[in-house]
Structure 1
């Protein structure tokens, strides 16, 4: 069924990208994540603090508060919290009950992103964050660039399934990254549970103007394309470009490779944070190439945003009911990912119910 089954929305015992490191300063910042307000700030030593964003006294937004030393003071009545979420000062009384506290969340900075864990903090294993060197955000010889930030007016599922379905490139992004063969090419789906990969090979392609411009190559190319999804947050689109000048059965010479890093994080029921970066291993010092890619990716990302927001609008106008959607072979990756996400959420709900019992 589509969208997710009733009662299923997003898992909590997972790492999510919460934003760009340079967003967090000594000035409190509010961001809604997993349907909760979270307030972020940096300590004097530069550590990121993440806490629940409502003061327990009058529910005042703590992002409107003041950072005093390493503590956060509510600017409504002066309740003050340390970085663990414990209240350490109530101006109208000397005794501070231990029950006066707010949740604090583990945060890890990787590359230029910061990641948050909003579930059980005892389960927050940093090794579960995808290796940034492996995905080419920090690898030597690769140039990584922050590309875009969007607050989508759509549930996160819609962007996940959009990114997992490479066939849409042909029709939503024609002439930039999409050509007829993307949808027509056979593909293989690998993975299970928390990792999936869709890959396809397109031979003897006339490069689009975009690819010719960034590669400086105007003859036929071979495109090795893949999309990986590290549940529940990070999509990694990758392409390797080869010159189609090989002898029969031999690979052509590599012209270059690039990756697009899509971080998709639930905000509220019908809102999603979308943080995008890309990296490449060619023309790494060429600003002209960076500018060309920036302009093209801005157009492509906006097309994706417009599409998923149109889907969300249709679902809401249809009364939030579930649909039995017609499935084509090209939906194989999206459907497997949908089932895996639902399984993650159900497993977490089952664990919480067992603990409560």
Structure 2
């Protein structure tokens, strides 16, 4: 990436070297995420030239001095927010809000490459169990882990509660799967009937088409008898944020996952409703490596299957064409990239 919102090119670059405390990972799978589009569009501060990519899994092929827990050959993934490992937030297990964080694909070159550098490895790396595919592990780094923490640690979803999820892309479909695993009743909202069909396949109890003519909050209120206990905006626009918040019942909890970029940095939120109905408005920014074991345990048990969210696998060249169009695309799941692949990589059975 040589310019903001410009064409993307696949080309050779020098091999990275492992920094002190860090590692080099040979990337076996990496996800194409709407957050990558935000960086390409100029909504994040990045230095050019730049390599995007932040959802990844692979094998350690280089280890820097001072690394204690990892060796060459380890199968690993990493959260998209990498903590410094030194501050009070990292020490308390909240590396996702570390003030000196690194983010592959944003603060430094990312994983849309054959190799990627990762920092503070002993704080941030997560071992991939042998029976978890690289593609499934890569799906955890941003969308799946963010949805997991949003529902469990932020919204504290309970069995039997109603959850409305606005947006049935990668993070929204992850939220559908996770909410159902915890026994919630799920309503998925999206503009794409194909995405909603996938949400139904993953367990959504009801779906609502956001066609501009449907009053989403009224439809949710009718289905739930007064509104949902929890809402998720998995897209990130004033409309989707408002639809999610207005779909809540009194004293409900809203979690904002989708980014809301505006020129001023401020976003419209229906705060009058939040005040009158005592709604909780929560942010969610990924998940620290220290919180991964519980999620991985559910995956090993088969209660969560992130690999079911993968719609297709593509090459780097195909990803370079797809990334600029992510704001208008409506994929029914995740797109995974195989950096070493040369031709078109068809979807594979990941069971």
TM-score of the superposition, structure 1-length normalised?
0.29
Return the structure number with greater helix share. 2
TM-score of the superposition, structure 2-length normalised?
0.30
- Between structure 1 and structure 2, the one with the greater Rg is 1
Return the structure number with greater strand share. 1
